[in-house]
């Protein structure tokens, strides 16, 4: 998806999430637009690699997006076709140098962006926080 297409999509009223928007990392004005609109990017690392979305997997812009404060999630996109799992996506993220804190942030982003009730969202965030305390302690 080009940055022009991304910008048009982000301006869509009511839009909260975009899949495959990693090229936003190369456009500071688009990053700002994502932040201003509170739009979450769904990142499918294996899919990006398989389909050659980026020159190399090692240079994936996920860390850049995180550093800019863009809410991102990890996704499997089409796990049967791509042959991935969410565990594999998290493992791939660690290969990009993401630490436990960043991975927890991604998980929290996913819960915040989930199409669910506020009750369920709160319950899931509590679960993530408990898991975070367990992994740190």
Structure confidence at residue 79 (pLDDT): 80
Structure confidence at residue 54 (pLDDT): 76
Q: What is the pTM of this model?
A: 0.90
Closest CA to 21 of 49, 4, 42: 42
Contact yes or no for 112/126 (Cβ under 8 A)? no
Structure confidence at residue 137 (pLDDT): 54
In a domain, 136, yes or no: no
In a domain, 131, yes or no: no
Structure confidence at residue 136 (pLDDT): 64
Closest CA to 19 of 77, 64, 58, 68: 77
pLDDT means over runs of 10, the chain (137 residues) = 87 94 94 97 90 78 96 91 91 95 96 97 96 78
Report the domain count for the chain. 1
In a domain, 38, yes or no: yes
Closest CA to 53 of 83, 87, 25: 25
In a domain, 50, yes or no: yes
Structure confidence at residue 71 (pLDDT): 98
Structure confidence at residue 4 (pLDDT): 87
In a domain, 127, yes or no: no
Give the alpha-carbon dihedral of 111, 115, 118, 121, to 10 degrees: -20
Structure confidence at residue 1 (pLDDT): 66
Which domain does 41 fall in, by range?
A: 3-99
In a domain, 132, yes or no: no
């Amino acid at each position: 998806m080009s940055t022009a297409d991304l910008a048009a999509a982000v301006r869509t009223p009511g839009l909260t999430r975009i899949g495959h928007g990693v090229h936003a990392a190369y456009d500071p004005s688009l990053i700002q637009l994502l932040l201003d609109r509170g739009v979450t990017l769904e990142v499918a690392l294996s899919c990006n690699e398989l389909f050659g979305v980026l020159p190399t997997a090692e240079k994936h812009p996920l860390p850049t997006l995180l550093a800019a404060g863009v809410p991102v999630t990890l996704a499997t996109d089409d796990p049967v076709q791509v042959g991935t799992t969410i565990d594999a996506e998290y493992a791939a993220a660690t290969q990009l140098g993401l630490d436990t804190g960043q991975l927890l942030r991604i998980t929290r982003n996913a819960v915040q962006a989930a199409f669910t009730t506020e009750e369920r969202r709160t319950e899931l965030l509590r679960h993530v926080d408990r898991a975070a305390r367990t992994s740190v302690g």
